[in-house]
Chain A
């Protein structure tokens, strides 16, 4: 403690006799009474208590060692796929549970031991340390400013404007190379977001059975998901294409369809809408068959499938695109072209 610069008046010894609730010092009843005198802990005055603390700390460290041994034993003996039932957690991996708990105990006990040691056996005398202002003294500041001025003058930075300006120019331009290098991160957008895998004559393939759909398969109140004919899960671009082409098909009573274009683009009340939400692109499909509403699970945009896919609630900005369909001569449903407008979230060039 001798290395500390402790201001005399805050030393506990000089305050040792100030009793609590003592009569207010002359003048200010709220004056700072200084650090309260140090009160000993049991461990400070009773060697038996200190010994007890020592044993507790040692016990904790021992426990940690045991837990580490347990960790190694669990790692070696338990098969990785063994499941056990632990009340009330459930059927869990024996390995994860035992490794986690032994590791937890091993670590926790080291910490608890160290802290108990610090709290009960190391000195708990509070000491005060002085603070010094962070700002430099005026002389130091003056010296630094003078040095800086000297340096700046010697460099001629202020005088030789041509050098200064060309240097700024060079420094400003050089990062452009870095920006250029980012160009090949990806292709330009072009019209990629406008087109999907749907085109005229492509049959609607049921995603459950992978068979083309016929109108009579689709009952009123049912919900079916479809993808375009010729698309396979194994295709390397399947993810990209399904992200735009996913389709949901429902059947309404034709007299319930309020929107004229929707009715025109349907087959006997069967309507095909994009499954991709026009908000930020989640696959929307929480279809409520009694209300004909479809809700997005991500941000709760709600669309009315009986009214042209109009937005009736939530953050989506425009209606769900509808795919125009017909029945081909073999009796299967097929697309009459691509979506008339881009599917999915809106963007600047969408128009």
Chain B
């Protein structure tokens, strides 16, 4: 400690303190930043609408109304279909944690069995898109190139070239599609959750959707190839520019400092 205090006026002391303060602030932020507090419910079994209705009246009715007719806090669910329920609840967007610009993706609160019950109940309120079958959304045998073209025409404007997400107005955003289950991508296209427009089968065929899913599976999954090296978020020139400044020019300046520095003298004066 004495050694430390004797050096507190060292010319480099301010730098050390600054670095320390930055580290502490960052650490505190990481420790206290709002973490996802989702707890899995482990009840649930049996099936059918009755069970779903019970779940609904506990978890959903306060915002969407007792009969799914909607209130000022949540839209009507009549006719949204099972696909919408499966998408919203299985991706953790519903139930909503707090009102905001839009519902973020979270860990799902309900089990898949409960979600199926909820979906069955909502589907009974009015006809809507049903949950797609594996055959519908599996990328096998689809045309990846066609999917790429469709993706750039219909999706990339919000979700970026390879589905890394992007900004919308007033704090809303198109989420990243990384790690999203193909089933949920299919459901999202079909039902148009929140501010996303829908792409129903009448204007975007089942085959089209399959192609898009196959394209995403190629360019945005954990086995995606990035031949050139680090993807840098796949965000385009902004992250490339930051990388060039910090690691490119930063490394070169570090090298320049070494080149220009005086070589250590034999005895310290």
Interface, chain A (partner B; CB < 8 A): 20, 39-46, 83, 89-93, 96-97, 100, 115, 119-120, 124, 206-209, 213, 216-219, 221-225, 250, 283-291, 293, 295, 297, 300, 302, 313
Contacts and interface: CB of A to CB of B under 8 A. Distances in A.
28 contacts: A39-B267, A41-B263, A41-B265, A42-B266, A43-B263, A45-B266, A46-B266, A90-B224, A90-B226, A91-B223, A91-B224, A92-B225, A92-B226, A119-B259, A208-B153, A221-B192, A222-B198, A222-B200, A225-B154, A250-B197, A286-B168, A288-B172, A289-B192, A290-B194, A297-B157, A297-B158, A297-B166, A300-B169
Q: Which 10 A-B pairs have the closest CB atoms?
A: A223-B197, A93-B227, A217-B202, A288-B195, A224-B203, A289-B197, A91-B225, A39-B265, A222-B198, A285-B157
A138 B232 CA distance: 61
Contact of A218 (B202, B224, B264): B202
B158 A120 contact: no
Nearest to B156: A297
B153 A225 contact: yes
Contacts of B194: 290
Contacts of A285: 157
Given A91-B224, A92-B225, A223-B199, A207 B153 contact: yes
B23 interface: no
Contact of B227 (A83, A297, A313): A83
A20 B229 CA distance: 53
B154 A208 contact: yes
Interface in B218-269: 223-231, 258-259, 261-267, 269
B196 interface: yes
A287 B229 CA distance: 34
A269 B153 CA distance: 23
B150 interface: yes
Given A221-B192, A295-B169, A208 B225 contact: no
A216 to B, nearest CB: 7
Nearest to B202: A217
Interface residues of B, number: 42
B111 interface: no
Given A207-B153, A208-B153, 18 more contacts: A40-B265, A40-B266, A41-B263, A89-B226, A90-B229, A92-B228, A96-B227, A100-B229, A119-B259, A208-B150, A222-B192, A225-B153, A283-B157, A286-B157, A291-B195, A293-B169, A297-B157, A300-B169
Contact of A217 (B203, B224, B267): B203
Given A209-B205, A216-B202, A124 B263 contact: yes
B154 A223 contact: yes
Nearest to A313: B169
A284 B157 CA distance: 8
Contacts of B228: 92-93, 96
A300 B259 CA distance: 46
Given A285-B157, A286-B157, A20 B269 contact: yes
Contacts of A300: 169
Contacts of A43: 263
Nearest to A42: B266
Contacts of B153: 207-208, 225
Contacts of A39: 265-267, 269
A79 to B, nearest CB: 12
B208 interface: yes
B198 A289 contact: yes
Interface string B141-182: 000000000100110011000000010110010100000000
A120 B263 contact: yes
B204 interface: yes
A224 B228 CA distance: 35
A119 B263 contact: yes
A217 to B, nearest CB: 4
A283 B199 CA distance: 18
B215 to A, nearest CB: 13
A318 to B, nearest CB: 19
B197 A287 contact: yes
Nearest to B224: A91
Contacts of A222: 192, 197-200, 203
